[in-house]
Amino acid sequence: MALIGAGAVVLDGQVCRPGWLETSGDRIQACGAGPPPRPPDSDFPECTVAPGFIDMHVHGGGGAAYTDPRGIAEAAGFHLRHGTTTTLASLVTTSPPELIAGVRALAEATRRGVVAGIHLEGPWLARARCGAHDPDQLRAPDPAEIDAVLASGGAAIRMVTLAPELPGADDAIRRFLDAGVVVAVGHTDATYDQTRRAIDAGATVATHLCNAMPPLHHREPGPVLALLQDPRVTLELIADGVHVHPAVLAAVMGAAGPGRVSLITDAIAAAGCGDGAYRLGAMPIDVVSGVARVRGTSAIAGSTATMDRVFRSVAALAGLADAVRMAATTPARALGLDKVGELRAGYAADLVVLDADLRATAVMARGDWAA
């Protein structure tokens, strides 16, 4: 048993000043507002304790990538130190054999508890909206390939991003849903009506809304409006100050509410490192002034952000309690994850301690303080 006290604790959507929680093993035993019931084992009087962040879209960090089996633990450990206690490791577009190999490596990492599962961002994406994905490896969904991927990853595959206008996408959506995989719409050139059909078929997530899809137009609203206006859809947003203008962030959050917005990093291996040359899958990436782009182009290639950084940005716009919902509670529900994303009795003892500037100063994952 360990008792934690803090100047503020975010409980049940409320910022309690002060607050406390007690852990037992890997679970929260009890929590409450006000002073701790006895002298705490760990006391953070000038800090805020929030649920551990859940990043449902991240490719790497700390110089390591989830496409490299040798770097999986290193990338997850880097983001853990920035408050991410639940990671959905994202794979980019690659060849069929490399895709299967990547899925197998991450499935093993999921079984070991290093990550919480796999997000397949491609290869079933629109060439016109490929972003930082290798356009030569993009392809339409193939039933045999999907079956091979599902057989290799099993329950570790949590989410897949696809472009619903591609041939075979309708069948792919059904196959993934039948396997218990969340389907996201992204890297797409779909029309408004095509996007609506995908949502009606069961797609429930918008992959980094606004990015890698046609902009909203008053005569051709496209996927942005279809995804934004449907209450069944959770909207990923990259609040790194690069991908989406703060005014757009505020507008989306105001229209959809914190219960439908999930903050993500879309971070690549360069997160936490300096400017320089990197790779995202097969694509060469240059990071200049902290912004990653495909070499020789203006295409943004993921981010160099961490979850505590995007959390700070959104907390300044929406307030602390709503930022917690978007960084933890909403992504947990979007992915169907049980007993994470909130500080409640019986939930996983996953938490982040934030200083007065909302920087992660201590992190607990499954009841253990991270090094």
What is the structure's pLDDT at 111? 97
Question: The domain 2-50+345-369 is classified under which CATH number: 3.40.50.1370, 3.40.720.10, 1.10.10.10, 2.30.40.10?
Answer: 2.30.40.10
Binding region for substrate: 132, 211-212, 219, 243, 300-302
Averaged pLDDT, 262-287: 96
- Considering the candidates 134, 240, 266, 350, report the single residue annotated as catalytic: 266
Q: Are the C-beta atoms of residues 265 and 238 closer than 8 Å to each other? A: yes
CA 151 from centroid of its chain's CA atoms: 24
Residue 147: what pLDDT? 97
Asked if 59 and 90 touch (Cβ cutoff 8 Å), the reply is yes
- Give the whole-number percent of the chain exceeding pLDDT 70: 100
pLDDT at 371 over 80: no
Domain definitions of the chain by residue range? 2-50+345-369, 55-335
Predicted confidence at residue 150, as pLDDT, reads 98
Q: If you classify domain 55-335 with CATH, what class do you get?
A: alpha beta
pLDDT beyond 80 at 69: yes
pTM here is: 0.96
114-171 residue pLDDT tens = 999 999 999 999 999 999 999 999 999 999 999 999 999 999 999 999 999 999 999 9
Q: Annotated binding site: which residue ranges?
A: 121, 132, 187, 208, 211-212, 219, 243, 300-302
Residue 75: predicted pLDDT: 98
Using pLDDT thresholds of 50, 70 and 90, give the confidence band for residue 1. confident
* Tens digit of each residue's pLDDT (9 = 90 or more) over 215-244: 999 999 999 999 999 999 999 999 999 999
Going by pLDDT thresholds of 50, 70 and 90, the confidence category of residue 270 is very high
In this predicted structure, what is the pLDDT of residue 179?
98
Tokens representing 124 are 């079933």
pLDDT value, residue 157: 98
In the numeric block, which tokens belong to residue 123? Answer: 């290869």
**Helix (H), strand (E), coil (C) string for the chain:** CEEEEEEEEEECCEEECCEEEEEECCEEEEEEECCCCCCCCEEEEEEEEEECEEEEEECEECCEECCCHHHHHHHHHHHHHCCEEEEEEEECCCCHHHHHHHHHHHHHHHHCCCCCEEEEECCCCCHHHCCCCCHHHCCCCCHHHHHHHHHHHHHHEEEEEECCCCCCHHHHHHHHHHCCCEEEECCCCCCHHHHHHHHHHCCCEECCCCCCCCCCCCCCCHHHHHHHHCCCCEEEEECCCCCCCHHHHHHHHHHHCCCCEEEECCECCCCCCCCEEEEECCEEEEEECCEEEECCCCCECCECCCHHHHHHHHHHHHCHHHHHHHHHHHHHHHHCCCCCCCCCCCCECCEEEECCCCCEEEEEECCEECC
Known binding-site positions for Zn(2+): 121, 187, 208
- Known catalytic residue at 266: yes
Go through the chain and tell me how many residues it has. Answer: 371
Q: What pLDDT, on a 0 to 100 scale, did the predictor assign at position 165?
A: 98
Q: How many CB atoms lie within 10 A of CB 70?
A: 9
